[in-house]
Structure 1
């Protein structure tokens, strides 16, 4: 049985060293990363890793879970009435994260290994992109309930927004083409994506009474 996930408050310097080692090794070796290599990079024993995290899959899940929590922090931390500000924080955090060189390289390595490790790849997708989309959909659903967005399918809306934010930038990175590698350019794209999304799903305006209806009450 795998141990329960560690609450953020229970993470210590050892956890951070282990998670940093996993991120670095995923960028180098993809899913062929070994627990022995993680232990060497983190300065601990394999026995410590297995006793604390249970398995390599569980360790990778926790690293991805931490990334998702950080990516959605902007949605949880801002006021409910600051819809654009919340989405801008989410969009810029998302773009900044995936533009880190080790993250982009890890994504390339994992994609290359997906056919060889299909179960692990599916788990990473569920715990990463799938969970991120679910959290965003829940946040969008609450905004719909508050009347801030048009009533529609929140899961479709979340997937569409993430696609708009990502654009073609990650494909450009994969093919080693010029991409949005500075914060200012990323922020401008984030603003364009968020504003386009908000225009597309703006709440329907209240219907105005017809002129004949106005005269009937005079």
Structure 2
């Protein structure tokens, strides 16, 4: 066991590096992102990657599962906040911070595994608890749904400015761009508070997000 532990720790570090690299490469290249580009961005050898994952689909499926774990952890931390609004706001900010919607381009291009499906379900359950609690406390506008919040996170999770600066290597502007996004997220969160005029149209159905994951 002592000899396996370092290898397991290294594998976990590689998975996290691949997840962060995949988010950045997918943001630019979409579902056509190459495994070689992701491996290079993560600083992981392509041969090492293929020893761990048998195919590009298997890599992307694992990356989706890891990303969903982040959503679940953000929701669990949000629910530990005594204040229902702060708990919901923490969840939104955390999901935007780790680019919660960046794996969206993979929808419909890979098969949803049982592991992914279980995490999707758990994530939805926890988010539903956050939303229900905020509604019950009267701090979340009554016409805002979990779907509205999921779509908001997906939109805010992609930052064209941050992605452009990353491609340009402008690390000198990274903090300013991240600060600007935090301000934008706060403005968006204020729009979720109770007391605003009704939202236009009808609430989006869950199928708007879930059906796109059916492989074409």
Give the CA deviation at 1:47. Answer: 4.2
2:53 to 49, 64, 67: 49
1:193 matched to 2:188: yes
1:160 matched to 2:148: yes
Give the CA deviation at 1:89. Answer: 1.8
Give the CA deviation at 1:187. Answer: 2.6
Give the CA deviation at 1:12. Answer: 2.4
* Aligned length, in residue pairs: 169
What are structure 1's unaligned runs of at least 5 residues? Answer: 1-9, 202-218
| Separation (CA, whole Å) in 1 of partners of 2:189 and 2:20 | 29
User: Deviations for 1:195-217, whole angstroms, at most 9, x for unmatched residues?
Assistant: 3213159xxxxxxxxxxxxxxxx
Paired residues for 1:170-181 under 5 Å:
170=158, 172=160
| Separation (CA, whole Å) in 1 of partners of 2:164 and 2:91 | 25
TM-score, normalised relative to structure 1: 0.51
| Separation (CA, whole Å) in 1 of partners of 2:140 and 2:182 | 27
SS in 1 for 2:98: helix
| Separation (CA, whole Å) in 2 of partners of 1:185 and 1:32 | 28
Q: Is the Cα–Cα contact under 8 Å of residues 92 and 153 in structure 2 kept in the other structure? A: yes
1:136 matched to 2:144: no
Structure 1 residues 167 and 38: CA distance shift in structure 2, 3 A: closer
Partner of 2:177: 182
SS in 2 for 1:182: helix
Aligned CA-pair RMSD: 5.0
Paired residues for 1:42-81 under 5 Å:
44=48, 46-50=50-54, 56-78=56-78, 79-81=80-82
Structure possessing the higher radius of gyration over alpha carbons: 1
Partner of 2:97: 96
Structure 1 residues 82 and 11: CA distance shift in structure 2, 3 A: farther
Give the CA deviation at 1:175. Answer: 10
